[in-house]
Amino acid sequence: MAETNALQAREKQELQGETIRPGPVFRPEVDILEREDSYVIYADLPGVDDKSIDVRLDQGALTLDAQLATLPDTSWNPLHAEYRIGSYHREFRLSEGIDASGVSARMQNGVLELQLPKSSQHRPRTIPVEAG
Q: How far is CA 68 from CA 11, 24, 54, in A?
A: 18, 12, 12
Q: Does 126 bind other proteins (CB under 8 A)?
A: no
Q: Does 42 bind other proteins (CB under 8 A)?
A: yes
Identify the residue among 20, 79, 127, 131 touching other proteins (CB under 8 A). Answer: 79
Q: Does 105 bind other proteins (CB under 8 A)?
A: no
Q: Does 109 bind other proteins (CB under 8 A)?
A: yes
Nearest distance in Å: CB 1, other proteins = 9
4/121 with CB nearer other proteins: 4
Those residues with Cβ within 8 angstroms of residue 26's Cβ, 6 or more apart along the chain or in another chain: 12, 13, 14, 15, 84, 86, 87, 88, 89
Q: Which of 104, 96, 100, 103 is nearest to 122 (CA)?
A: 96
Q: Does 82 bind other proteins (CB under 8 A)?
A: yes
Single-letter amino acid, residue 127? I
Identify the residue among 15, 57, 69, 105 touching other proteins (CB under 8 A). Answer: 69
